Structure 1
Amino acid sequence: MKLYYSPSACSLSPHIVANELGLPIELVKVDLVAKRTEHGEDFLAINPKGLVPVLQLDDGSLLTEGPAVVQYLADLKPDAQLAAASGNMARYRLQEMLGYINSELHQGYLPLFNPACSDEVRSARTAHLHKHYRLIDAALGRTPFLLGDRFTVTDAYLFVITRWADIVKLDLSAFPKLLAFQARIAARPAVQAAMRREQAASA
């Protein structure tokens, strides 16, 4: 399989999941501004959305959108239990959490990456993110991971998106459980390996 990614983007989440599962994966770096791959390919010809992640399967077909990609990867090795089996309430809870992270956190950060972001927009986005992080911090006060006592694909996604707080200078000091979670996930060998690999590719 081949994963099209951009350093520090949400594509780090499926990279982490692949590492956790021990799945061999070829990485192809994408310049999201120029819309070119590291091999000079037109990325828009690969994914007209112009976004990462893109997972190219062994049959050549493509899968996009991070929540879908991480679930696909988890289902390749169900015994690892990174996602509950399809068709039961635990899987729907996992999809519920992926959707929540995607809509309220992932999308909430995006305006803050715009250099032209006004103080008014920044204030509104900060309040929005803090509101939702307050709920997540409370949940993490009950269990070590988002869905209980086991690491799942939702934890990889939350970890990656929350790393953006440092980039956009979002203060998360009011959420100690969240910060402890970030440190706990960052210490996982699969996570460290993914970050090292992407950092080396960016050097």
Structure 2
Amino acid sequence: MSPILYYGVPSGCSFGSIVALEWSGLPYRLVRVEMPEMIHTDAYRAINPVGETPSLMTANGDVVVESMAILNHIGARATASGIAFEQGSREFDELNRMLAFLNTTFFNAFSSLWHVIEHEVDPATKAALTEYGRAKVERAHAELEKMLGDKPWLLGEQRTLADAYFIGIARWTKYHAVVDRRDYPNLQRLYDKLEADPAVIFAHAIEEQRPASSSGGFQGEIGLEAAGESKRAA
């Protein structure tokens, strides 16, 4: 059985895991999870009791959750592709540092802005949360802008899991008019390069349910119930 990635739509951070799988060349299948409706179902809670995406069911039926854990699981099996490194190496530590920053600072900066979109709040609360989110997103962009500098990729001369995770989060600015990425030319350059990447184009097509051409090991989409049967079989 090939691994199965449960990806969330619309615009889940699982986008980065799809890109990483494409870059890895590993075989995989996908399960589409419509949010918030499907994450509350018994079928999905049996996979991830927390009710969040992404989730990855491995070839032997184990389930890995949380983006950083999933990305590192993929990377450990795809070091030959160059997107990850051997544990214990300096490069591995640098990759984990960047993934941690993207997860705790860059991702988290958008939290209050998503809350405003996803929940009914009074005007005063909305204004306060928006201003708070604006400051956090601006700071996160400024810090990452300096980290990237003039390097072609976040860690240097080659693309890694960090770039895959970055593109899944960076696109959220289109929902929140709090920053103009053009004010951060290094990040804009990286964003534009990633948006032209075949794996990113593929991931967009998958989310939007358009014809998608994989350059990796994609073996098709299956339904949530069918994926559950695969888990029981494993």
CA contact (8 A) 1:32 1:50 kept: no
Equivalent in the alignment of 1:138: 146
Measure how far apart 1:181 and its partner are.
0.8
Equivalent in the alignment of 1:190: 199
Equivalent in the alignment of 1:148: 156
Of 191-200 and 8-17, the range deviating more from structure 2: 191-200
Identity of aligned residues (%): 26
Measure how far apart 1:35 and its partner are.
3.2
Of 56-65 and 87-96, the range deviating more from structure 2: 87-96
Equivalent in the alignment of 2:27: 24
Larger radius of gyration: 2
Structure 2: how far apart are the matches of 1:132 and 1:169?
15
Change (3 A) 1:36 1:140: closer
Q: Deviations over 1:133-183 (max 9, x none)?
A: 112112322311111111000011111101001012232231111111111
Measure how far apart 1:13 and its partner are.
0.7
Map 1:168-179 to 2 at 5 A.
168-172=176-180, 173-179=182-188
Structure 1: how far apart are the matches of 2:151 and 2:91?
15
Structure 2: how far apart are the matches of 1:52 and 1:109?
16
CA contact (8 A) 1:134 1:175 kept: yes
Structure 1: how far apart are the matches of 2:200 and 2:26?
14
Measure how far apart 1:112 and its partner are.
0.6
Structure 2: gaps spanning 5 or more residues: 211-234
Bigger RCO of structures 1 and 2 (CA < 8 A, at least 6 apart): 2
Moved over 3 A (4+): none
Structure 2: how far apart are the matches of 1:46 and 1:72?
17
Measure how far apart 1:30 and its partner are.
1.1
> Are 1:34 and 2:47 matched, yes or no?
no
Measure how far apart 1:41 and its partner are.
5.7
Structure 1: how far apart are the matches of 2:27 and 2:208?
18
Measure how far apart 1:111 and its partner are.
1.6
Structure 1: how far apart are the matches of 2:199 and 2:38?
28
CA contact (8 A) 2:16 2:164 kept: yes
Structure 2: how far apart are the matches of 1:33 and 1:190?
26
> Are 1:120 and 2:122 matched, yes or no?
no
TM-score normalized by the length of structure 1: 0.91
CA contact (8 A) 2:112 2:132 kept: no
User: CA RMSD of the aligned region, Å?
Assistant: 1.7
